[in-house]
Amino acid sequence: MTEDAPARPDGAERVDASFSGADRPSATIYDTCIRCGLCLPSCPTYLETMTETSGPRGRISLIKAVGESRLDLRSAGFAEQMWQCLDCRACEAVCPSGVRYGQLVETARTQIRRAVASGEPPRKRAIRRLLLHTLFLRPRLMRTVANLLRFAQRTHLIALAGLAGLARAAKLAPRVSRSFFVAADQCFEAPTPQGVAFLHAGCIMPYAFAQVHRATVRMLQRGGLSVRVPRAQGCCGAIAVHAGDMDFARRLAKRNIEAFEASGADVYVVNAAGCGSALKEYRELFADDESWADRAATFSKRVRDVTEVLDALELPEPSRSIDATVTYQAPCHLVHAQRIANAPRRLLRRIPGLRLVEMSESALCCGSAGIYNLTEPEMADRLQRRKVDAIRATHATIVATANPGCAAQVAAGLRAAGTVATVKHVVELLDEAYG
């Protein structure tokens, strides 16, 4: 039996494995759930299955049951529900009791991974290891893979990916940029600088969304911020946190904290919602580490999504109009985790000619969720189709969003449905409007 497992409240015999050691779901958090069910209509997996255990309330009950030694941590049903959850945090955003659901599911996954290597199915483990420990950690390897992928996409050799068992990854992969934008100690000066921004480059953005980085730099300059892109930064660790690999996430986080401290920048700007959410939560990631807690808390206070920054700056009026119907897909980690709902819409409404039409369920997860669309293909596809249907109903020709995962997932869904609408980052549209 696990040493730290608490006695069962009903006095019955304890199960073999409960939570133990660091990074466990907090009883203070799961006991805050009053089982009201107000979160259920916001939960994508509940809406798709209409099953209690596939919703937040059911998952919290499962976590509590393991915490109270009524359910074995290694049980298949527990692992299945922890991995089926998208960690989209929609439940957290609407909960009247303030249940911090993200902390529960992320630490529950960490506990499962530590308790039993087999707690994670082999296919998921292989994908996680390949992406996290191999690809995202080695920029040179990432560049080589991006070059190969770009060649395959341009020559249509991508159709052969199925022979290597990579058909799904090839289908979902974003189109690789013509020229990359990697962090290489670049300095972009504003004409009359009022501050300095650190631009978070990320793992995928430099290779598949380089144009978003360039647009971000130009927009920040227009707003009076000089921009630094230090080479010493790296992956934010979001995918590691979602995969329950907290120790690895901390390793990655330390690089970014050190890089920001050394940069002398005033604000840490992020144009990928998933990364921004993870970076703002370094404070929680290091809460129990005396030597890093203060540095992480100071760092997190300075992190801002680019839409927050631009919305707060005094920008001149855009000089060009964009004559198009646009709908906005709210990334979960912007709207639910960071609670930024209006800034992207306000920025879009500044653009002359642009007609912003709201889609239904704009804030419902599109099924991307980090590497969820690779590890949970069936549910990811269902949510992707649901999102594409909502977009098509608006007749928009452009889908605006603010996260690379959403952009890739929505674009793949639109392609599969034969819809010609394009997907752009809010900042790309703004940059176009400023000429």
Chain contacts with ligand SF4 (rule: CB under 6 A): 33-39, 42-45, 56-57, 59-60, 85-91, 95, 97, 99, 101
CA distances in angstroms from 325 to 249, 319, 362, listed in the order given: 40, 18, 15
Residue number with CB closer to ligand SF4 (90 or 229): 90
Nearest-approach distance from CB 96 to ligand SF4, in angstroms: 6
Nearest-approach distance from CB 59 to ligand SF4, in angstroms: 5
CA distances in angstroms from 417 to 154, 365, 412, 414, 421, listed in the order given: 21, 18, 9, 5, 10
Nearest-approach distance from CB 57 to ligand SF4, in angstroms: 4
Q: What does the buried/exposed string (b/e) look like for 368-397 if buried means 16 or more CB atoms within 10 Å of the residue's CB?
A: bbbbbbbbbeebbbbbbebbbebbeebebe
For residues 215 and 322, give the distance between their C-alpha atoms in angstroms, rounded to a whole number.
16
Residue number with CB closer to ligand SF4 (43 or 215): 43
Residue number with CB closer to ligand SF4 (338 or 394): 338
CB atoms within 10 A of CB 240: 27
CA distances in angstroms from 44 to 5, 361, 362, 430, listed in the order given: 32, 10, 12, 30
Nearest-approach distance from CB 166 to ligand SF4, in angstroms: 27
Residue number with CB closer to ligand SF4 (49 or 298): 49
**Antiparallel, parallel or unpaired: β 303-305 and 186-188:** unpaired
Nearest-approach distance from CB 89 to ligand SF4, in angstroms: 5
Nearest-approach distance from CB 380 to ligand SF4, in angstroms: 12
Residue pointed to by tokens 């969304």: 209
Nearest-approach distance from CB 28 to ligand SF4, in angstroms: 14
Q: Which of 432, 191, 195, 187 is nearest to 304 (CA)?
A: 195
Residue number with CB closer to ligand SF4 (37 or 162): 37
Residue number with CB closer to ligand SF4 (365 or 429): 365
Nearest-approach distance from CB 387 to ligand SF4, in angstroms: 14
Residue number with CB closer to ligand SF4 (43 or 407): 43
Residue number with CB closer to ligand SF4 (89 or 228): 89
Vertex 281 angle, CA 145 and 43, to 5°: 85
Residue number with CB closer to ligand SF4 (85 or 172): 85
Give the strand order in the sheet containing 225-229: 186-188, 225-229, 195-199, 267-270, 303-305
100, two tokens: 């911090």
Residue number with CB closer to ligand SF4 (101 or 434): 101
Nearest-approach distance from CB 109 to ligand SF4, in angstroms: 11
Nearest-approach distance from CB 158 to ligand SF4, in angstroms: 31
Q: Which of 79, 369, 77 is nearest to 242 (CA)?
A: 369
Nearest-approach distance from CB 411 to ligand SF4, in angstroms: 22
Residue number with CB closer to ligand SF4 (199 or 410): 410
